[in-house]
Homo-oligomer: A and B are copies of this chain.
Amino acid sequence: MFIPSFNARRSTPVLLFLFSVALILILLSFYYFAVPTGLLEVWNDYQEPQRHFNTDDPVSACFVILVRNSELDGIKSSIDQMEKTFNHKYNYPYVFLNDDDFSAEFIENTKSLGTAEKFYGKLDEQMWGYPKFINQSFAAERRKEMVETQVPYADSESYRHMCRFQSGFFFRHPLLDKYDYYWRIEPNVDFLCDIDYDVFKFMRNNGKKYAFTLTFVEFMKTIPSLWDTVLNFRREHPEIVSQFPPKEKSLWKFITDDDGESYNSCHFWTNFEIASLDLWRSSEYLKFFNYLDESGGFFYERWGDAPVHSIAAAMLLRKDEFHFFHDMGYRHTDVLHCPADEQVLQKCSCNHDSFVWDDYEKGSCLKQYNRALLD
């Protein structure tokens, strides 16, 4: 073994140098090994529960469907396609919700679709009615005024109840208590590609909390005061905003082009939505929803659950918790997402020559999404 010879005096700087190197090496090894393995948590007292699971563990998840008895044919069509392209392999249960009692015919006809479990629940007044702080005659006036703007559902009360329900209540229904993730489905939509992996396991195993296929720009006349209300919330509740990830780690730039000055109207289209229920159950979201709700905009204007969910998720989540299911062909009304990847397309019954919403020119917000993601 070669050991350099040195005398006492000369060895002082050598020793100091060696100590420094040792220190750096030890700190580096600590950072690269101890921190990621969670070794430190063992030293520290038990604090927050950590999510531990094997990637093969089952996921508690379901489909959530808000639907009327009269939409039986439409929902049968949607479920048929969901079973054929995905769920016959995975058998996730369906939870049907309605503001009325489901008819025997509805239940009988949907029970027989596929082999997955089906649950049927009714909303109640809390979830589908006017809260006390709403002035109903003022709301009626405002609906009348909105008709002139010719926005869809301008004068619809039930559409407003639906948007409020989807914004603030569906996740509180006891039929959803046992689940961690949901996939929202609507009547008369198409699922156009075979999905040969477990979508919910993908979400859980990759730490995804919110996923979409379509992005959209909003009719700003339906939400004239929404953004101001969001900004007021942020101003009045610094203690909540301080719990959010820093703007640059969130999807802030998906929803605003001028660092919050205004809302660019971009949102995820929530008629397709795969997400974590805990996102909405969190006290941060509940306080946000409650603040919006008390401002009256769900009824005095016509705030959609899509901008509400999207703005909230863009503030509450880290950008790596979002996922764009570009491999899922999906159609709602005349809006279509069809995969661009040739290999994926072979498993789809759509083609990219048709009207496809993700082309930027046509008004999709994928550009803003990608910008926010990469920035």
Contact = CB atoms under 8 A, between A and B. Distances in A.
Given A3-B8, A12-B3, A239-B53, A318 B26 contact: no
Interface stretch (A86-94, A240-248, A306-314, A326-334): A240-248
Interface in A239-272: 239, 242-246, 249
A318 to B, nearest CB: 7
A177 B15 CA distance: 61
Contacts of A244: 49
A234 interface: no
A354 interface: no
Interface stretch (A39-47, A73-81, A362-370): A39-47
A245 B40 contact: no
Interface string A20-52: 001100110011000100001001101011011
**Size class of the contact patch on chain A:** 35 or more
A285 B323 CA distance: 28
A313 to B, nearest CB: 14
A117 to B, nearest CB: 13
Given A3-B9, A3-B12, A168 B174 contact: yes
Interface stretch (A124-132, A222-230, A297-305): A124-132
A11 to B, nearest CB: 7
Contact of A281 (B51, B281, B290): B281
A137 interface: no
Given A26-B23, A174-B290, A180-B283, A35 B46 contact: no
Interface string A114-128: 000000111011110
A342 to B, nearest CB: 35
12 contacts: A3-B9, A3-B11, A4-B8, A11-B11, A22-B23, A26-B26, A46-B318, A49-B284, A124-B126, A126-B174, A174-B290, A177-B286
| 3 smallest beta-carbon distances between A and B, as pairs | A177-B290, A124-B124, A5-B8
